[in-house]
Amino acid sequence: MEKILNSYLEKIDRYLKPLPVSERVDIVKEIKSEILELQRNGKSTEEIMERLGNPKELAKAYLGDLIAKDTSFSWNRVLAICAYYSLASLSGLVIIPTLAICAPAFIFCGVITPIMGAAKLIDFLLNLGIPYVQYIGVSGINNPILVFIICIITGIVLCLIGIGCWKLLVLYVKSMSKVKNKLSI
């Protein structure tokens, strides 16, 4: 009994192939919910099958809009798609790699800078004489405490820029895919 119903749902899923996965999952889940509802009301598998009808027909009903949309050829749509891909590839060529490199680089520097500042401060306070620490510094400032404070501020600013780059990247990708969905390519 369960087997028949499951294979019914699988068939629906297969016929819904042209739709995005998320939509497909949702549709199948909703039909499954109704099947469970009918079972709870004491309906037999045969009755449920008869009520829902041929899986192909049911799936087709969902695809109805999509098919109608695709067959109606329109120059505006073609132009919109061309414009979308031109813009997406051109901007993607520059924006994605730039942001993808900048985001981790800024965050990395943002973390390293205060650590360096702290190293110099500790070295100065405890008189450790750690090698190469003398190369750490902010030009024109000799006081290690001041260097440390500047390092902290710089670190925070760098981190914020890095996070900003990352957010921009996510925003860019999201908005691009949103437009893509709207064009239903």
Partner 1 sequence: MNIDDWKSQIKRGTLEFCIMLMIKQRPSYGYEIISTLENYPILAAKENTIYPLLRRLLKEEYISSSWQESAEGLPPRKYYSVTDKGLEYISAMSDEWDNLLNSIKEIKGEK
Which residues contribute to the site for partner 1 (CB under 8 A)? 26-27, 29-34, 36-38, 40, 51-53, 57-58, 60-62, 64-65
Q: Using the minimum distance from each CB to partner 1, give the nearer residue, 15 or 148.
A: 15
- β-strand partners of 18: none
- β-strand partners of 46: none
Q: Helix crossing, 21-40 with 45-52: angle to 10°? A: 130
| Beta carbon of residue 135, minimum distance to partner 1 (angstroms, whole number) | 59
Which residue intervals of the chain are DSSP H helices?
A: 2-15, 21-40, 45-52, 55-71, 75-126, 144-183
| Beta carbon of residue 52, minimum distance to partner 1 (angstroms, whole number) | 6
Please, which residues have CB within 8 angstroms of residue 96's CB and are 6 or more apart in sequence? Answer: 169, 172, 173
| Beta carbon of residue 1, minimum distance to partner 1 (angstroms, whole number) | 16
Q: Using the minimum distance from each CB to partner 1, give the nearer residue, 68 or 94.
A: 68
| Beta carbon of residue 3, minimum distance to partner 1 (angstroms, whole number) | 18
Q: Using the minimum distance from each CB to partner 1, give the nearer residue, 29 or 167.
A: 29
